[in-house]
Structure 1
Amino acid sequence: MIVLALAGANLPFLNDKVFALVPLRGGAGKHPDGWRKPFILRFAELAVLYFLVGFAGLALEGRIGTVFPQTWEFYAISACLFLVLAFPGFVFRYLRKRH
């Protein structure tokens, strides 16, 4: 589950396709290799992937037994953890020096 969360958190930053499937056309900034995804689209994709990974975890928990009820604190902490897992991809995309 942690590997799935790590992959889902870094996916928006490691490619310029939406969900690594749909290529962008028009609207975004021009890049020598094609169109570049804007940051707001990457962040929206990150939010959608957070919920998809959460539903996968909920499904796995339901398969092994009773699904425990969670409060808002659980979701706040898991969202922050998902953002922390996205940090390597963010560094790779925005903070790495290009020569």
Structure 2
Amino acid sequence: MLAVAVMMLFDFAVVSIWSQAPGMTGATLFGYLGTIGVFLVLVAYGLTNVGAIWFFSPRWRLWSWQWVILLPAIVFLGYTLYSNIYPVPAPPYNVFPYVALAWLLLGLLCIVA
């Protein structure tokens, strides 16, 4: 409960500060934050598929038809992520992959700590 409250306050602060930028509209802000969120969701889905392979393979519970689903899913997610990063998009969208990477590294740091 405390973690949710802290994240809500953090999100409120980010949106409040970023919405004051010159020329920023609600739709623009939603597009910027949505783009960063999509990068994070693509990574999460890809790691979920990798985790499913890692979890089920040693236990002999992963049947051949499941490989047919998981491996192409990883490839498609990787391609989608790659195609949103290269060629480098126009500013400010060229910065968002780095913001998402920093957010992932911050999460990893919190997990390790």
TM range (shorter): 0.3 to 0.5
Higher relative contact order (CA 8 A, sep 6+): 1
Structure with the higher helix share, 1 or 2: 2
Q: TM-score, normalised by structure 1?
A: 0.35
Give the number of the structure whose alpha-carbon radius of gyration is greater: 2
Q: TM-score, normalised by structure 2?
A: 0.32
Structure with the higher strand share, 1 or 2: 1
